[in-house]
Amino acid sequence: MFNNKVSKAVRLAIAFGAASTAALASTAVSAEENTETEEVERIQVTGSKIKRIAATAPTPVVVIGRVELEDAGVSNVNDFLSEMPSAEVGLSPENSNNFIYANGLNTTDLRGLGSSRTLVLVNGRRFIGGSAGDNAVDLNNIATSMIERIEISTGGASAVYGADAVAGVVNIITRTSFDGLEIDAATTRPFEGGGEQTFASLVFGKEFDGGGFIFNYDFADQKQMAKRDKSWWYDNPVSSVPNPNNTGGDDGIPARIPYEGKKHYALYDESSEFFLGGDHWTFDENRNLRPFDNGDGYIPSDPTSSLYRYYAGEYKDGIEEGADEFFRTPLTRHTFNIAGNYEINENHTLSFDTVYSLSEAFGQSTPVFWRSLNIRKDNAFVKDDLRQLMEENEVESITMRRLANDFGPRKYNQERSTFRTSVGLDGFINDNWSYSTYFQHGRLQQDTSWFGEVITENFENALDAVMLNGNIVCANRNDEGEVVGAISGCTPINVMGAPGQHSQDTIDYITTVATAQHGGTQTSFGATVTGDLFELPAGPVGSAFSFEWRRDSAYEEPGTGIRKGLIFGNSGLAYSGSLNVKEYSTEIILPLVVDHEWAQELNLELAYRYMDYSSTGGDSAYKVGLTYQLNDDIRFRATMAESVRAPNIEELYSAAGTQFYGTRFDQCAADTIQNTDEKYRANVIKNCAAAGIPEGWRPSQEWTDGGSIEGKLGGNNTLQNEVSSDVVFGFVYTPAAIEGFDITVDYWSFEIENAIENYNYRELAENCYRADSLDNPFCGFITRGDNFEVVDFFQTSLNAAEEKKSGVDIESVYDFETSIGEFGVKLTATYVENYEINQTGNPIDLLVNTGEQDHMRWRARLNTSYEYGDFRAVLVTNYRHSAVNDRNGWNIEQHDYNDIPSYTTFDLSMNYRVLENVDLRFGIQNMFDRTPPRHPLAFEDTNWYDPIGRRATFGVNIKL
């Protein structure tokens, strides 16, 4: 009889997608061991707030235990989640270097629908967002050594947990008590280049009659990793260049072709460069004029291309490819936790948990660069050779470009501190009803400092150096340009030559450390009562009723230089915003059939939530679920739901700040119209004409060669909630004939309407002029000057998009024992059946992106384990299916490298218990040193491919 109960408990866990999770099984078994006549203890899992007896959720729940995290050897839970086939990386140190306020953040992204659509809970409760105004949780704040397990639920979660749970819920369950002392230390060392990691943790706790407590400290440090640290990248990088053989948009010849090898950008130089008299010039180490050295010359290029024609081959003069570019931003974090529980009496328990996290990261970009340094002939630093050249060409000034480390690299240093405390009271009202209440408060503060920045006005003053009364001074000129004196306090600068020759007075006058402060708070209260309403022939009707109140606030306070627009490339205004929400929810589970010849169980589950937002008003979400247990071997489940995501504070209220779009593009330029997809061309011609732009118009060469387009980025307080229709159905098969084996298969579908998307400059321009008329949501965010050239844009979010995504999840576990040890195999896979996005809602704009690199068909993770005595080994295989870059608009006219190959890595970890309380572990990640595919569109992609390479992990765990 006992074995049957164990089997039943394990099947219960399997039905939740957690066959290997001992927690559920042990709960049920321990309850039944006490007495055969008592009820099995009710349990609660992510996906529902109803505590159930031998019931299973209609939505899949995947459980990741401590053992799996330990086997992976990760110091941050996001490193593990990113390898789950159902999840993707939102932000991470590998992809956040160029996000000024996001360096070092770690966020997860279920289904690839966006981190803002994934709700991360800690012990079933919300956690303050990792960035001011954003709800996405920074997983740096979750101490790995405190995690007991992770439960991932998808489909219908919004009705249970509220907004943001469109794609699902990641519920991180932490340890609530501990008895003893545990010390853990580990280091990870790549075989080549930077990116080293160090991790250490301390866990101390005490359990006593009626309660216990636990204290934890985690320390993690990962080093910066530059692109040029890796020989596979530096020795022979892969990119693309314009095709010199291309003759137009309908010749069947690709406009771009792959390019392998080092190259440099010859339009900038650290010694400054300029064109004059048909020649290209720069300066030698003595600041004397010399011809610009292109080595073997320019890379062949499409003659209609502007900036690309200045790319040259092996490095000579100019800016070397990969300079100041990084695969990983450095991150150091400290996390402190204290938690405890106390049994007031046998019916009521008080619990608390507090976390304080401090992290520091920095991003790094190119030094300050100038594309229009105006040097007059009367400049005091102009030598005779340059003055003579200017006289020969009859010019009074030249325009130079410069990208140099004059004032050090521009580093964006981020210091984040997060505090969150939660108090809960749980207990029984009577034999049938129980309750759970909590109050929590969280606070985030983020201080950002920009080093190597320049006060633009001071630099321009210092640049105009003249000789006056025998001294070199900063010129004070009248309206006619005549020197009438010197600017007080200004120290001149000479930019004609290599950096490193400026006086400290000059550096102090020109440079500054720009600053900005961000922060926010989250305060919430919640109460849930759960119990049986009444009895049906098939069993009791379970229910849960909840009320939650939450207030979120955020602010941004840029330093004076940024607010006044005095800093090179940075300007922004202060803002503060807040929103609050009251939520009421109900869950009901109706047992329809039990112990029938055609059904062991048939249950109907209903959930409804009403949300009242101060920002967007009232809205609701619902879920209808069905579970059908046919027999001991097979169970079916299905859910239909409607989910909601409310716009966050940043999307609503953030103030306008400087934003750059990297590539010059104008949808109304004649050559752009010629290369526009035929289905849009007529609308583009019509709308450009309606905007007053002449036929055949082209922007000036000065505009085309002007580098990044400068605009603004900010919030939109007219945003409304987005709504998702969700469907999930599948089955769980646990054949009695194969002990230790199970398989679950689930189909899932999300259809998001009124979707909130952020539109960059190019998307705004294309959507504006490709629409049926200029009366559309996009045109108002682009500003043109008198000569029709774009002079400004405003990047923001709009409720204009639609998204659909569907696929299948497969999870299978097989554990078996032999005379030589225990073996285990766990396969987790996700297949994307369809992904569609429509950025405007107009039928003509529908894109089917299924099978593209960001939505590849298959992702799979195979975990194979072997255990014998005190030894355990695990081999993990991660697979990414082959993909294409563009399934919709691509044709051979664009390029000939649309196909991207598959990608597989292998990780091996071993653990050996050398003493009763001492475990040693060793691992090799990316065993075969698999680098990203040598493909122009994948070679530098750190979301899908591993740039770190082969690395070894060593660790020790001591329990006292």
pLDDT in tens, 277-330: 999 999 999 999 999 998 888 888 877 666 667 888 887 898 888 888 899 999
pLDDT at residue 182 greater than cutoff 50: yes
pLDDT at 2: 35
Give the closest residue to 946 by CA, choosing from 905, 910, 894: 905
- CA distances (Å), 286 to each of 5, 247, 400, 493, in order? 86, 44, 18, 16
Q: Give the residue, 71 or 34, on which the prediction is more confident.
A: 71
How far apart, in whole angstroms, are the C-alpha atoms of residue 180 and residue 197?
A: 27
Q: Give the residue, 545 or 561, on which the prediction is more confident.
A: 545
Report, in this order, helix, strand and coil percent for the chain, each rounded to 5.
15, 50, 35
Ramachandran class of 377: left when φ > 0, alpha when ψ lies in -120 to 50, beta otherwise: alpha
Q: What is the mean pLDDT of residues 214-231?
A: 94
How far apart, in whole angstroms, are the C-alpha atoms of residue 674 and residue 694?
A: 15
pLDDT at 659: 86
Phi, psi of 924 (to 5 degrees): -125, 115
pLDDT at 914: 95
pLDDT at 5: 34
pTM of the model: 0.88
pLDDT at 30: 37
Residues 6 or more apart whose Cβ sits within 8 Å of residue 911: 70, 71, 871, 872, 873, 919, 920, 921
Span 818-847, pLDDT tens digits? 999 999 999 999 999 999 999 999 999 999
Mean pLDDT (the chain) is 89
pLDDT-derived band of residue 218, with 50, 70 and 90 as boundaries? Answer: very high
pLDDT-derived band of residue 39, with 50, 70 and 90 as boundaries? Answer: very low
Ramachandran class of 748: left when φ > 0, alpha when ψ lies in -120 to 50, beta otherwise: beta
How far apart, in whole angstroms, are the C-alpha atoms of residue 306 and residue 447?
A: 39
How far apart, in whole angstroms, are the C-alpha atoms of residue 339 and residue 123?
A: 12
pLDDT at residue 892 greater than cutoff 50: yes
Residues of the chain with pLDDT > 90, as a percent, come to 71
pLDDT at 8: 34
pLDDT at 22: 32
pLDDT at residue 227 greater than cutoff 80: yes
